[in-house]
């Protein structure tokens, strides 16, 4: 079995310009089936914070293709499903316009291609690791909730609606955020409504690409029960 040993902290830069702190570890077990000191893994801090398996039961630590434990992989999927459904509700009117790619469509033959900068951004989302994409999706999801709550407490004026602006945006900051993560998170909160809808649509689209079963669940709920 594996017995992990912390080696060093390293930094990675993901596709959207954010630096991520990760932890490099190695197996120091002499009887590991993979051999002593087999190749190191990069484990996000979130794994080390949230996974009791890692701290208390190293033998249960099963790395996935991205180097994350199976428990975190399940958590990412659960969170992603919540994000996808929330984006689907938030973007209902936006997607109904039929002028943008939707993750619910199985084909795009009847839909016009998005602008070049949108297509390029969606391509940049593809190589993001599970952890990197989960952080970005979580930031956008948090801002969807913030915007909906603020609209409920303070309905936007006609002037704000016509200019597609939002008022003094802020998103909560956690102590363990990497310093480069904080301005990126606030930049999302500062986007105008139209630009934010574009971003949320792109994340929604890539969630559907990464988890095709989410699209099937949405289509099933729209079609209703079969008789």
Q: For residue range 88-144, list pLDDT tens digits in order.
A: 999 999 988 854 454 444 333 334 455 566 788 899 999 988 888 888 999 999 999
* Helix 212-223 / helix 70-90 crossing angle, nearest 10 deg: 40
First to last CA, the chain: 51
Q: Tell me how far the alpha carbon of residue 74 is from its chain's centroid.
A: 13
C-alpha separations of 196 from 53, 59, 113, 150 in Å: 37, 43, 19, 15
pTM exceeds 0.85 for this model: no
Phi, psi (degrees; rounded to nearest 5) at 23? -115, 130
pLDDT in tens, 41-51: 444 444 444 44
- Average pLDDT, stretch 217-227? 59
Q: Is the pLDDT of residue 205 over 90?
A: yes
pLDDT in tens, 140-155: 999 999 999 888 765 5
Q: Give the separation between CA 68 and CA 71, rounded to whole angstroms.
A: 8
- C-alpha span between 61 and 55 (Å, rounded): 9
What Cα–Cα distance (Å) separates residue 100 from each residue in 113, 125, 140, 188, 197?
A: 7, 17, 18, 20, 11
pLDDT over 60 at 187, yes or no: yes
Instruction: Determine contact, residues 150/36, Cβ cutoff 8 Å.
Output: no
pLDDT at 202: 94
For 41-83, the pLDDT digits (tens) are: 444 444 444 444 444 444 444 444 444 555 566 778 889 999 9
Task: Name the nearest CA neighbour of 172 among 197, 149, 143.
Answer: 143
| Predicted local distance difference test score (pLDDT) of residue 196 | 93
Per-residue pLDDT at 151: 82
Q: How far is CA 23 from the centre of its chain?
A: 20
Exposure string (b/e) for 118-149, b if CB count within 10 Å is 16 or more?
beebbeebeebbbbbbbbbbbbbbbbbebbee
Distance CA 147, CA 170 (A): 10
């Amino acid at each position: 079995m594996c017995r992990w040993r912390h080696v060093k902290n390293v930094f990675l830069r993901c596709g959207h310009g954010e630096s991520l702190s990760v932890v490099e570890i190695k197996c120091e077990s002499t009887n590991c089936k993979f051999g002593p000191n087999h190749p190191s893994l990069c484990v996000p801090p979130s794994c080390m914070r949230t996974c009791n398996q890692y701290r208390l039961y190293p033998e249960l630590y099963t790395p996935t293709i991205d180097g994350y434990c199976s428990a975190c992989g399940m958590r990412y999927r659960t969170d992603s499903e919540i994000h996808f459904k929330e984006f689907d509700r938030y973007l209902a009117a936006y997607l109904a316009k039929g002028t943008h790619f939707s993750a619910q469509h199985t084909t795009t033959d009847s839909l016009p291609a998005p602008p070049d900068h949108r297509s390029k951004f969606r391509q940049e989302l593809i190589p993001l690791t599970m952890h990197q994409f989960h952080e970005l999706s979580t930031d956008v999801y948090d801002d969807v909730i913030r915007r909906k709550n603020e609209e409920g407490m303070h309905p936007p004026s006609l002037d704000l609606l016509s200019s597609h602006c939002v008022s003094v945006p802020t998103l909560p900051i956690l102590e363990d955020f990497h310093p480069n993560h904080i301005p990126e998170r606030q930049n999302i909160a500062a986007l105008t409504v139209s630009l934010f809808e574009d971003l949320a649509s792109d994340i929604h689209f890539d969630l559907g690409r990464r988890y095709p079963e989410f699209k099937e669940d949405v289509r099933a709920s729209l079609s209703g029960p079969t008789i």
